[in-house]
Amino acid sequence: MDYKNILLIKMSSLGDVLHTLPFAGELRKLYPNAKISWLVHPQFAGFVPDPPVIDEVLYFDKVKFNKMSLGDKIKYFKEMRDLLHSKHFDLVIDMQGLFKSAVMAAISGCSNRIGYCEMREGSGLVSKAIGGSHSKDHVIERYLDVARHLGAKVEEVEFPMPDLTKESKVVAEKLAAKGVKGDYVVFVPGARWKTKEWPVEHYAELAKKIASDGMYIVLAGGPDDALKGAKIKELSGLEQVVDMTGQTSLRELAALIKDCKVYISADTGPLHFAAALKKPLVAMYGPTKADRTGPYGSDNSTVMITPAKCAGCLKKACNDWHCMHDITPEMVYEVYKEKLVK
């Protein structure tokens, strides 16, 4: 069927939005003349593809919504419903598969609603789950199965990325102002789950090893990572460690990563910037499963899985948390050195 007005729902998080980019690219190839809109939370909109891949970005402000009174929430929902109805969508694709996205699909005014294979929290009652041959594989392939269902012939995983020329210039100025005069490695110490974080002490020790080779280390991430960045800087005691946590926009963070020598982090959203940009990267994994949500589509990626027997437990909290400590700075440094000689 030749759809004319398509709504893609993927509201959060940063990593999930990035995982959806290859699907968005395939959707545009399938329907070159359709108007494609993307519904997203504002804080994760920085990497929704520009035209011609995505024509229009729509926002549901969850942070604002959660602070509203009941009356204002009802009013906001009505406004959202009216907005979606006014678009006259003939296909809605729920790539979130959660209650919140199911509500948006349900009030869209479109009866033709599909989603990917893992529809949770009742979302499968609103949108038809689409499975395929990759239902047990990486989440990017699970999303691409929906494109295959629609008729796409996916030949390779491609990430439609924005032009970062302007952001690269801004980042270069910020780095120069902080005294960075040569090649640098990016560390992103934060993660959405505490159990996914690599210890700040480990980052500091790794920074000392890398700095001894004459490399700068730039600490990056969002405002929530600022305390970790400050602690790593303090523990390292090195001028070569530059803290830029909370000091870049999302696109500036991507530009920072684009121009780095090597990227290093645990399982966190910016990791997928590095993978999409084909940067040499080292990722440390403990409670999460890299084969399902790890860096994908790049030969420059190395995932270090904890030697702990409980690896891949998917616990957000743990009374015996040691998995990430078990990946030592020495182990990561050895992989880092291999990246430099490739």
| Per-residue model confidence as pLDDT tens for the chain (342 residues) | 899 999 999 999 888 999 999 999 999 999 999 999 999 999 899 889 999 999 999 999 999 999 999 999 999 999 999 999 999 999 999 999 999 999 999 999 999 999 999 999 999 999 999 999 999 999 999 999 999 999 999 988 999 988 899 999 999 999 999 999 999 999 999 998 999 999 999 999 999 999 999 999 999 999 999 999 999 999 999 999 999 999 999 899 999 999 999 999 999 989 998 999 999 999 999 999 999 889 988 889 999 999 999 999 999 999 989 999 999 999 999 999 999 876
Closest CA to 263 of 249, 243, 247, 277: 277
Name beta bridge partners: 320: none
The per-residue pLDDT for 46 is 85
The Cα–Cα gap between 106 and 271 comes to 33
Residue type, 229: G
pTM: 0.85
Closest CA to 161 of 22, 285, 60: 22
The per-residue pLDDT for 342 is 66
Helix (H) or strand (E) segment spanning residue 18:
helix 14-30
Angle, CA 275 vertex, CA 273 and CA 312 arms, to 5°? 100
Domains, the chain, with CATH or none: 5-150 (3.40.50.2000), 165-341 (3.40.50.2000)
Contact (CB, 8 A) for 107 and 86 = no
The Cα–Cα gap between 166 and 156 comes to 28
145-149 long-range contacts, Cβ below 8 Å, gap at least 24?
145/116, 145/117, 146/23, 146/93, 146/95, 146/114, 146/115, 146/116, 147/23, 147/26, 147/27, 147/30, 149/114
Closest CA to 130 of 111, 143, 112: 143
The per-residue pLDDT for 163 is 86
